[in-house]
């Protein structure tokens, strides 16, 4: 199935939920169907947003208070949307994004306790409420995800572990946040069981995308 218009798909979920791996596989899936695809991420995805990413993901877990963290996230997000996402959609590309504004609802709204309404106001002010066409929520037991994340850090030696170092109850709150978002917006969000081997989870992702595309083409 080939659709000429741009499509914006985001992947959400807790740490170590397999988003990056599944994005790469879905990129191949779309390319095999003749689509031009870009893969991007948050925080980041544009030169300015990548600079802010370093401020957000490195250092001590208490480096920023919740409001400052949320403002930095949306500053990066606005630059990302204006310089990368909107132009790609205008060109008719498929945009696959590792996290978007739902992460701010989950991390800063639920995890840090700012509340979903506060994040919704920032979302509106910064990017006029702009949302993905489809959001895939990768759902995985917290302990499994954190174990995967820390194993990855050991392999890559990355310093981007600020959120992983937060307390377990923080991760429990953000997982609930993602689940609540999916329940509130079932027309946009699909929960994907991310507990399984890569091929099995990829099959679940592909099925969700195929259903979305079938509904979009009607």
Annotation: binding site for ATP: 13-20
Q: Which of 44, 117, 35, 55 is nearest to 80 (CA)?
A: 44
Q: Say which DSSP state 133 is in.
A: S
Q: How many Å apart are CA 75 and CA 40, to the nearest integer? A: 16
- Distance CA(191)–CA(147), nearest Å, equals 21
Token pair recorded at residue 138: 């990768």
Binding-site residues from annotation = 13-20
Q: Which tokens in the block code for residue 75?
A: 């500053």
CA distance 134 to 189: 6
Place of tokens 């699909």: 190
On whether the CB atoms of residues 95 and 9 are closer than 8 A, the answer is: yes
| CB of 36 closer than 8 Å to CB of 91 | yes
């Amino acid at each position: 199935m080939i659709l000429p218009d741009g499509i914006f798909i985001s992947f959400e979920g807790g740490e170590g939920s397999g988003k990056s791996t599944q994005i790469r596989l879905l990129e191949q899936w779309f390319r095999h169907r003749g689509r031009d695809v870009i893969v991007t991420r948050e925080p980041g995805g544009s030169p300015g947003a990548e600079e802010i990413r370093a401020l957000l993901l490195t250092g001590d877990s208490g480096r920023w208070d919740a409001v400052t963290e949320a403002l930095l996230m949306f500053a990066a997000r606005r630059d990302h949307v204006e310089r990368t996402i909107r132009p790609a959609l205008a060109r008719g590309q498929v945009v696959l994004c590792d996290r978007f504004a739902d992460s701010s609802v989950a991390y800063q709204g639920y995890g840090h306790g700012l509340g979903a309404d506060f994040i919704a106001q920032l979302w509106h002010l910064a990017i006029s409420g702009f949302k993905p066409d489809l959001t895939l929520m990768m759902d995985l037991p917290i302990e499994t995800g954190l174990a995967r994340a820390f194993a990855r850090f050991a392999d890559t030696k990355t310093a981007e572990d600020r959120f992983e170092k937060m307390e377990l109850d923080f991760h429990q709150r953000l997982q609930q946040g993602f689940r609540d978002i999916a329940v509130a917006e079932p027309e946009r969000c699909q929960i994907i069981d991310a507990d399984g081997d890569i091929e099995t989870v990829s099959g679940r992702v592909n099925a969700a995308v195929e259903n979305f595309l079938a509904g979009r083409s009607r």
